[in-house]
Amino acid sequence: MPAQNRPPVIVAKLDLSDEHQRAMHDCIRRTHSGRWPLWQTLSMRQVGSYIFEAARCLPRSRRASKRARFCLLRWEPAMCALVWHDMPSRRAALAALNAAAEAAVPTLVHAA
């Protein structure tokens, strides 16, 4: 099976018996695999219930710009939500991932 068609390994721990988390798991698989995936994962981290991901945005057509685009994604399984931020470079996306994950830790500790 070619690398682009192989489903990604989801590194988050999701409770697949929960309807929202199962839907998020399926959404992550669909958007990262198949014939025309939307994103290619650079790095993924889970902090509490949030899943942060630095990703490369893949071109949608042959005519689309071949210039690589990057983004920071925040998956929220509890609300079945996705927050997307465009990033200017791979390095910026990875730095934003680390900063977002670090910033989420104190919030989750105080909420407990």
DSSP 26-47: HHHHHHHSSSS-SEEEEEEEEE
Rounded to an integer, the average pLDDT of 97-101 is 92
Predicted local distance difference test score (pLDDT) of residue 105? 67
Predicted local distance difference test score (pLDDT) of residue 112? 43
Looking at every residue in the chain, the average pLDDT score rounds to 80
pLDDT band at 20 (very low <50, low <70, confident <90, very high): confident
Q: 59, 21, 22: which is closest to 37 by C-alpha?
A: 59
The range of the structural domain enclosing residue 87 comes to 3-111
Q: How many whole angstroms separate alpha carbon 50 and alpha carbon 80?
A: 11
Helix (H), strand (E) at residue 71: strand 69-76
Domain count, the chain: 1
Q: Note the pTM of the prediction, 2 decimals.
A: 0.75
77, amino acid identity = P
Rounded to an integer, the average pLDDT of 106-111 is 48
